Amino acid sequence: MDQSISDLKRTTLADVAARAGVSKMTASKVLRGTGSISAQTRERVRAAARDLSYVPNRLAGSLSSNRSHIVAVVLPSINDAVFGDVVSGINAVIRPEGYLTFIGESHFDTDLEDEIIQTVLSLQPAGMIVTGGIRRSERASQLLKSWPCPIIQIWDEQDAGYDGNIAPSHADAGRMIAQHFIEKGVRKPAYIGAELKKDLCAARRREAFKEVLTGVGLELIDCTDEDMPRQAGSGSKLIQDLMRQHPDIDALYCLNDAMALGALSWLHGAGFAVPDQIAVAGFNGTSFEHSVRTRLTTVHIERHALGQEAARAVLASIRGEVFAPREDFVATLVQGNTT
């Protein structure tokens, strides 16, 4: 039985007030720093709170004031270089302002996202940051649109009609790699991806990539597996099959850096020379981009800054201020090492 939990009474504001010999209201005012309270009572209340190790009950506080300090963040997965950085950017801005982030993981699953959204909303967040680029349920969309708190969408360049949208251009990212391949004189390019039906941003990169190639008359060998995870291991597997069928592929674009690294690793082990024999490109995904040499070409996006910007946008919106977000989350080509 969990009596051990319930019989230990937490100390409440009433206890603090009693010890300081004042009313609950006075104690509340002192601890929040509102109203005008004499220096002595203030000190008495503070001392009482300290002595009792008082920890306010935010559930009660928020319920009463109808204002929470929670910013809900919904994203596919925290366990991912991209969104890990984004979250850390959000936190960096939000925490010093006294807000807390509450994170829900959707794992690119529509139904799960639906559930998560409902759950985080039930905590009455003051604001919300949702990741786009996933097929959102009608129900969830409606709920978000009608919910009375500011909602900022990130990651997906396609505005979904919330209170703000902060994202890089995925189409640009795809085009950039295509352009890069073309400049290198690539003849037989290939693409590998996974779960493209779920990750709409990745699909957009691929589409733009393909379009540019087709524009110059290059045919793309396109290989996507809807059931594999978007991870390094899948990269190895897919490239392996691909090279068996088309040993003369000379350029490979991957859904993300994780898959690209997996592919790179397999190619290396199988004796293919990268980038001379086959060029490999990915998308913005490891935390090593700038400090570890790889032969991988990638497109970089300032994820931390993007998170920060989203956080600033939410805070501004919560406070009813106007906010002009940076428009320049440009995708930048980062060439791999050749040595």
Partner DNA sequence: TCCTTTTGAGTTATCGATAACAAAAAGTCG
Partner DNA sequence: CGACTTTTTGTTATCGATAACTCAAAAGGA
Residues of this chain that bind its own copies (CB under 8 A) = 1-2, 4-6, 8, 10, 53, 55-60, 62-63, 66, 68, 77-81, 84-85, 87-88, 91, 100-105, 118-119, 121-124, 139, 142-143, 146, 148-150, 231-233, 235-236, 258, 261-262, 264-265, 268-269, 287-288, 290-293, 318-320, 337, 339
Q: From the list 50, 51, 63, 139, which residue makes contact with DNA (rule: CB under 7 A)?
A: 63
Whether the CB-CB separation of 183 and 161 falls below 8 Å is answered with no
Element spanning 333, H or E: strand 332-334
Q: Which stretch binds DNA (CB under 7 A): 65-73, 195-203, 272-280, 310-318?
A: 65-73
Distance, in Å, from the CA atom of 306 to the CA atom of 289, rounded to the nearest integer, reads 17
Per-residue DSSP letter, 193: E
Retrieve residue 77's tokens: 């997965």
Q: How far is CA 150 from CA 172, 223, 263, 329, in A?
A: 28, 39, 41, 21
Distance, C-alpha 33 to centroid of its chain: 34
Burial (0-12, 13-18, 19+ Cβ within 10 Å), 325? middle
Query: Of the two residues 209 and 266, which places its CB atom closer to its own copies in the complex?
Result: 266
Q: Tell me which of DNA, its own copies, none is bound by residue 264, counting a contact when its beta carbon lies within the kind-specific cut-off of 5 to 8 angstroms.
A: its own copies
**279-281: strand order across its sheet:** 221-225, 189-194, 251-254, 279-281
Q: Tell me which of DNA, its own copies, none is bound by residue 101, counting a contact when its beta carbon lies within the kind-specific cut-off of 5 to 8 angstroms.
A: its own copies
Q: From the list 18, 52, 61, 330, which residue makes contact with DNA (rule: CB under 7 A)?
A: 61
Retrieve residue 46's tokens: 């503070």
Query: Of the two residues 62 and 265, which places its CB atom closer to DNA in the complex?
Result: 62
In the complex, least distance from residue 1 CB atom to DNA, rounded to whole angstroms? 13
Three-state DSSP string of 18-56:
HHHCCCHHHHHHHHHCCCCCCHHHHHHHHHHHHHCCCCC
Q: From the list 4, 65, 79, 146, which residue makes contact with DNA (rule: CB under 7 A)?
A: 65
Distance, C-alpha 79 to centroid of its chain: 10
Q: Tell me which of its own copies, DNA, none is bound by residue 179, counting a contact when its beta carbon lies within the kind-specific cut-off of 5 to 8 angstroms.
A: none
Retrieve residue 301's tokens: 């996006």
Question: Is residue 60 near DNA by the rule CB under 7 A?
Answer: yes
Q: Which stretch binds DNA (CB under 7 A): 57-65, 146-154, 210-218, 256-264?
A: 57-65
Q: How far is CA 202 from CA 217, 242, 330, in A?
A: 23, 20, 16
In the complex, least distance from residue 319 CB atom to DNA, rounded to whole angstroms? 15
Question: Is residue 304 near DNA by the rule CB under 7 A?
Answer: no
Q: Which stretch binds DNA (CB under 7 A): 8-16, 90-98, 111-119, 130-138?
A: 8-16
Q: From the list 36, 53, 146, 291, which residue makes contact with DNA (rule: CB under 7 A)?
A: 36
Whether the CB-CB separation of 284 and 329 falls below 8 Å is answered with no
Whether the CB-CB separation of 336 and 275 falls below 8 Å is answered with yes
Question: Is residue 224 near DNA by the rule CB under 7 A?
Answer: no
Instruction: Kindly compute the dihedral angle of the four CA atoms of residues 239, 242, 248, 254, in this order, to the nearest 10 degrees.
Output: -50
Q: From the list 18, 41, 141, 207, which residue makes contact with DNA (rule: CB under 7 A)?
A: 41
Query: Of the two residues 26 and 234, which places its CB atom closer to its own copies in the complex?
Result: 234
Residues found near DNA in the complex (CB under 7 A): 9-10, 12-14, 22-26, 28-29, 31-32, 34-38, 40-42, 56-57, 60-61, 63-67
